[in-house]
A and B are shown apart, each in its own frame.
Chain A
Amino acid sequence: MSSLTSALPPAQGTGARVARWGLYLILLLFAAYYLLPLLLMITTSFKSPEEIRTGSLLSLPRDFSLDAWSYAWNRACIGADCRGMAPYFLNSIVIVVPAVVISTIFGALNGYALTKWRFRGANIVFGMILFGSFLPSQVILLPMAQTLGALGLAGSAGGLILVHVVYGLAFTTLFFRNYYVSIPDDLVKAATIDGAGFFQIFTKIMLPLSLPILVVTIIWQFTQIWNDFLFGASFAAGGAQPVTVALNNLVNTTTGVKQYNVDMAAAMIAGLPTLVVYVLAGKYFIRGLTAGSVKG
């Protein structure tokens, strides 16, 4: 994967140098555009309320303070509950971990079965599962609310885990299916000749080859479920709400003096887990993003 123009000789002369500078200038201006909201959040979260009132939007904090962060973490009021973001952050972890693990396991097994042990109609089954990744959630909100109520899961973390597993299956199956398609069938063939069965081949041959796609899938599911707002807002009641819903409630609380530094610190708290994962393993995240759409 090298630049298209790397086959060409480098351009020479003053004109080319000016063009080069212009190119970098444009790219850096765009970088500033993308970074601005994040930088604003970070700098504002370290400022005091006085500094926000008197200072400029873009200035760096003069008196670096962590007060807003600690206030947002365990004292800020979300509705009538003044325990800060901490309990909701924990809720999100409780929802995300099992939902990611379960949907990834099913996705891996589906992808394996749909590519290496194809049965009649496998393509139709895959197509029908895949459509789920484009489904506008609004179509299933009401029936899901009713069903969770009937199952006794309304408003609970268990209900949200179920929802995220079901609607994550389309993506996890897609990822593994596309990855396993490119693994030679001869590997499976040879193993069956040696007498290995379905699950033996999966655990001994396929899984050891699956590390890259496993990382892609886990990161993708983690990001999607952590960032979910619609399901959390629709299906989780008060104390079981995920961190995104809590953040929205906190920011939109109209009583009292608006503490922008606390809002920004709370937003950073809600955003940090996915941001850290992105910075550490962005390459896998991008692969997940483009997995559904790149063709050459």
Chain B
Amino acid sequence: MTMQTPSYRPAAGEDAGAASGSAAPPRTTGLRAMAQRHLSKLVVAPSFAAILLFVYGFIAWTVYISFTNSRMLPSYELVGADAFAKLWRIERWYVAIENLLIFGGLFIGISLIIGILLAVLLDQRIRGEGALRTIYLYPMALSFIVTGTAWKWILNPSIGIQQFVRDLGFPGFTFDWIVQQDTAVYTLVIAAVWQSSGFVMALFLAALRGVDQEIIKAAYLDGASLPRIYWGIVLPSIRPVFMSAFVILAHLAVKSYDLVVALTGGGPGYASDLPATFMYEMTFRRNQIAIGSASALMMLATVVAIIVPYLYSELKGGKRV
């Protein structure tokens, strides 16, 4: 990938009053000339101001609310960390956290395995590779609210796979995970893997295509088998992609919301709640704004812990992000 090219700043005396980088010495005075010199900043300013307010300002607002006793409406009287203490005493929150760990772990692990497997298999000069790639990746183009309609049907014991297999002549067959408290969260994994593993495949396939073919050829001539070449040489050489894929999948797992709404609605009861649905429930349905804000901040903290070290290392290297 391209390294970042050095930034251009016109040298002094190079331009005659046209817009220039801030390094150029001022030539003309007056508002117009000043605007020209700072145009670049002025152009970015509205977006940056919007981000400052709507991202960072709103985070601060949510932090503030989480230290109040707001219930149905925001109250601005600070009461300390009560909401956090309450949050960590709610059983439903523990269910959501535990579900996130189960769901996140399985979702990331299985998506990586399937994605890498498909990428390596597709890389074997496959006829119809383009069509297969298109099929593997289309779930990412559709809202889960849309595809969840089909998944709900497939997983519904009385009309979906269970009934289908029973009709085939296996009346004892049972696949009713979606209606069982202990197993509903695993249906989220099935559907989420279906949605995102093609994306992992695309990431790895792009990386595989960037590996130097000469190395592969040399290893092959040395008598190494194909699986050995992939396992021993190719996959280790694209290590950074594992990191990217992990970071993206992990933050998707924390943010998962549509999936739960479309598939289980958090049910049965709240057995398949994730933090995102917990937050929505507390904030908009149970009039517990402070607790909802506290739970949102827990989500933010998790995402920050995953993302910031990653972004930092990427930006510091001056590479494309």
Contact = CB atoms under 8 A, between A and B. Distances in A.
Interface residues of B, number: 130
Contact of B125 (A3, A120, A135, A195): A3
A40 B153 contact: yes
Contacts of B121: 23, 26-27
Given A136-B299, A251-B149, A144 B124 contact: no
A63 to B, nearest CB: 20
Contacts of A212: none
A119 B1 contact: no
Interface stretch (A75-83, A203-211, A225-233): A225-233
A173 B47 CA distance: 9
Contacts of A184: 5
Among B48, B52, B238, chain A packs the most CB atoms within 10 A around the CB of B48
A264 B150 contact: yes
Given A115-B7, A137-B255, A275 B142 contact: yes
A229 B141 contact: no
Interface string A146-169: 110000000000000000001101
Contacts of B151: 37
Contact of A119 (B40, B293, B296): B40
A138 B276 contact: yes
A31 B136 contact: yes
Query: Looking at chain B's contact residues, is the secondary structure mostly helix, strand, loop, or mixed?
Result: helix
Nearest to A228: B143
Interface in A154-202: 166-167, 169-170, 173-174, 178, 181-182, 184-185, 188-189, 192-193, 195-199
Given A138-B276, A260-B159, A234 B320 contact: no
A293 interface: yes
B150 A120 contact: no
Nearest to B62: A139
Contact of A197 (B36, B65, B262): B36
A142 B62 contact: yes
Given A110-B43, A198-B40, A293-B203, A229 B62 contact: no
A70 interface: no
Contact of A57 (B22, B135, B163, B194): B163
Contact of B146 (A129, A132, A247): A247
A277 B55 CA distance: 30
B126 A136 contact: no
Contacts of A257: none
Interface string B242-281: 0011011001001101100110010000000001100110
A180 B173 CA distance: 57
Nearest to B277: A138
A189 B118 contact: no
Given A118-B9, A129-B47, A130-B321, A293 B150 contact: no
A271 B15 contact: no
A230 B142 contact: no
A193 B150 contact: no
Contact of B141 (A24, A223, A230, A293): A223
Contacts of A251: 149, 152
A278 to B, nearest CB: 4
Contact of A31 (B46, B135, B154): B135
B47 A169 contact: yes
B187 interface: no
Interface size class of A (residues with CB under 8 A): 35 or more
Nearest to A185: B8
B41 interface: yes
Given A30-B136, A189-B10, A294-B1, A139 B59 contact: yes
Contacts of A109: 43-44
Contacts of B7: 115-116, 118, 122, 185
A150 to B, nearest CB: 12
B59 A140 contact: yes
B21 A271 contact: no
Given A113-B44, A140-B54, A271-B142, A7 B213 contact: yes
B159 A142 contact: no
A141 interface: yes
A58 B149 CA distance: 16
A277 B143 CA distance: 13
A1 to B, nearest CB: 4
Interface in A244-296: 244, 247-248, 251-252, 260, 263-264, 266-268, 270-271, 274-275, 277-279, 282, 285-286, 289-290, 292-296
Contacts of A167: 54
24 contacts: A2-B209, A37-B147, A57-B159, A132-B51, A132-B55, A138-B275, A138-B299, A139-B62, A139-B299, A143-B65, A166-B51, A166-B54, A193-B14, A196-B18, A197-B39, A198-B40, A228-B143, A247-B145, A248-B261, A267-B147, A278-B134, A294-B206, A294-B207, A295-B240
Given A6-B213, A290-B206, 13 more contacts: A4-B208, A23-B121, A23-B126, A40-B154, A58-B164, A110-B47, A138-B257, A178-B321, A223-B141, A264-B150, A266-B149, A270-B143, A270-B145
